Structure 1
């Protein structure tokens, strides 16, 4: 597929919603391109006209895995397709052995609730769960130095906080975590697609993310990366026929896990979501995440500076190095403000007491000005 994307207008022209709305809610659901729409229509049309399209659909699943592997610098056999990030983390959590003396799981107070829920559910299997505390909406690398010890089995962290956009230094944390003898799991749902991720360079053991946010797909597909040498040591407790070595043989009586990370796959995935993911990933590979990140970083810096200029109070760090692309502002009655903005054609996302503004490569500073000006009128 050939994209001509030298100008911002050409980026924007791929997203029909931008003709009538200001879309700044990629932290919740990214805008859909015409190519993703065409991909999902292709899937539906194939079913309508052919009745079954298993081989073509499986090919799209494999293509989405290959493209995602390329995006993060992994190998395809280190990628599994899951239904959600919750599904992916649960697959890992239930495959670990929580032996006495090496059973501590560390996560943070800034992680999305599902992460805490999954790890807390492992206490019945012998896991000891600890939450790293925040200080001024920030987690400092020295917190990992202070709290992790030799009994830590795995450290589970978010690359970027879903709540306030706080960005962690994954490379630095990875070094600390591994020196403590712990595995590192990174939730990249709020960073994949607008921030370069190189799992080998960053020495990440496990990475999870989904396609519906910054990767500009739809719900139903998430990706699980597990370092090859680690995957082969893990035994899934949740499995299915597609996670078997020879799934096409339909062998009911023998359990033989697939090679690499594919062992964590279970049943038939959301095929329509795989078509969407494969199409969306084409765009990122053609443009380049580094180029996307540069544009989005400028938008994020502008969002903070213009918001402060207009009297809004950002949540979290003001340091550019400690912020992802998303910016959150403390807003009274945030959910009501979000609904009011939607009636004006401005899409943002509220969480608790903040309004989150998450631009992507299709956004402009004018979009941000319009959203902030409207917020100030409502407040």
Structure 2
């Protein structure tokens, strides 16, 4: 599939320069068509076929590793992480380690546990917004029950060294929990290679789905440690008057989900597989090489850590030096149909595999 064929799948490329993929994926025509087909079955339910949850689980396992039955279908990253936080047995004196300034989905579920006497320890960031595994190693002890971290930080685009952090967590017997919202589908992830116990994510960003789709991976190694807090009809064997939970991640599923959205999402996941996450990540670095070089030449302040290539992703944060002029630049880009995000004091640029060098050059000319 060449770049022209790929761009033809994304109608947004005919209207704007879309550099906002960290916020959400623009709807592609494959997912759109699949959604319309599904909706037709709602109009004529006589020919309607049941939704097969196994299809999504199988696709997720091919992209992220693990077994299909180690995946539960959820509606969001936050629901997945919250399910795990509430499903673990904590006691007063236990502690949880998370980095400073994590996304709220990977902070609020753990912070709530302070009510139970659980201590939340915040690992310090480096001056350049990166995080060193040693910052976590300094905090961990025999009372650490969870080390939780985003695979890609939403507010800098930094990619932590997951395998090193997973090793540190396991040496002390702690669970390694990863928020994959800004990573899955954009950087290579292998849950087994990286020693990930729990991985939660959403479909509407780099996995090319829509809001309302998500997943929770729980390794069979640790699944018995986490209790389902909202078991529904898909969490157990269909036996009346008896709860016989599945012995894998399916036990975390609840009731009916938005089948139309999940069915359509299967096309987005297949597209990710067809292009290949390794190729998507290579393209991310290629795009951001151009962006970083252009911004540095114009003497903008880049907030994202850029010194080490292995810590980079498709997300770059920068500003003009003042909030007022940064807002003015954001408006200028929007007026010229270049879509980015104004996040706090920074502009966040996040291209994907369908963006071209020509589009990056237009963006740089405008800034």
Q: How high is the TM-score relative to the length of structure 2?
A: 0.94
Distance 1:300 1:212, change over 3 A: same
| Per-residue deviation, 1:198 | 0.7
Is 1:279 equivalent to 2:270 in the alignment? no
Distance 1:99 1:44, change over 3 A: same
Please tell me whether the aligned partners of residues 94 and 238 of structure 1 are also in contact (alpha carbons under 8 angstroms): no
- Aligned position for 1:149: 141
Distance 1:39 1:339, change over 3 A: farther
CA RMSD of aligned residues (A): 1.7
- Aligned position for 1:326: 315
- Aligned position for 1:297: 285
- Aligned position for 2:361: 369
Please tell me whether the aligned partners of residues 201 and 216 of structure 2 are also in contact (alpha carbons under 8 angstroms): yes
**CA displacement, residues 73-106 of structure 1 (integer Å, 9 cap, x when unaligned):** 11011000001111000110000011345x2111
Distance 1:40 1:361, change over 3 A: same
| Per-residue deviation, 1:335 | 5.5
- Aligned position for 1:110: 101
- Aligned position for 1:43: 38
Choose 44-53 or 136-145, whichever is displaced more.
44-53
- Aligned position for 1:78: 70
Distance 1:268 1:337, change over 3 A: farther
Is 1:342 equivalent to 2:334 in the alignment? yes
Which of 15, 19, 33 matches 2:28? 33
Distance 1:121 1:52 in 2: 46
Unaligned stretches of 5+ residues in structure 1: none
Q: Secondary structure at the match of 2:221?
A: helix
Distance 1:236 1:150 in 2: 25
Distance 1:212 1:337 in 2: 27
Distance 1:117 1:166 in 2: 21
Please tell me whether the aligned partners of residues 335 and 351 of structure 1 are also in contact (alpha carbons under 8 angstroms): no
Distance 1:335 1:262 in 2: 45
| Per-residue deviation, 1:62 | 2.3
Unaligned stretches of 5+ residues in structure 2: none
Distance 1:140 1:235 in 2: 32
Distance 1:40 1:128, change over 3 A: same
| Per-residue deviation, 1:255 | 2.5
Distance 1:238 1:50, change over 3 A: closer
**CA displacement, residues 231-275 of structure 1 (integer Å, 9 cap, x when unaligned):** 1332122222222232xx5x3x43222230011111111112202
Distance 1:26 1:268, change over 3 A: same
| Per-residue deviation, 1:107 | 0.9
Which of 144, 162, 172 matches 2:154? 162
| Per-residue deviation, 1:371 | 2.1
Please tell me whether the aligned partners of residues 106 and 150 of structure 2 are also in contact (alpha carbons under 8 angstroms): no
| Structure 1 consecutive aligned stretches of length 4 or more whose deviation exceeds 3 Å | 333-340
Please tell me whether the aligned partners of residues 319 and 347 of structure 2 are also in contact (alpha carbons under 8 angstroms): yes
- Aligned position for 1:138: 130
Distance 1:355 1:51, change over 3 A: farther
| Per-residue deviation, 1:336 | 5.9
| Per-residue deviation, 1:148 | 1.0
**CA displacement, residues 327-357 of structure 1 (integer Å, 9 cap, x when unaligned):** 1112424566445433322111121111111
Q: Secondary structure at the match of 1:232?
A: helix
| Per-residue deviation, 1:204 | 0.6
- Aligned position for 2:205: 213
**CA displacement, residues 112-158 of structure 1 (integer Å, 9 cap, x when unaligned):** 02321111112223422121121211211110111111110001101
Please tell me whether the aligned partners of residues 314 and 351 of structure 2 are also in contact (alpha carbons under 8 angstroms): yes
Please tell me whether the aligned partners of residues 105 and 155 of structure 1 are also in contact (alpha carbons under 8 angstroms): yes
Number of residue pairs aligned between Structure 1 and Structure 2: 362
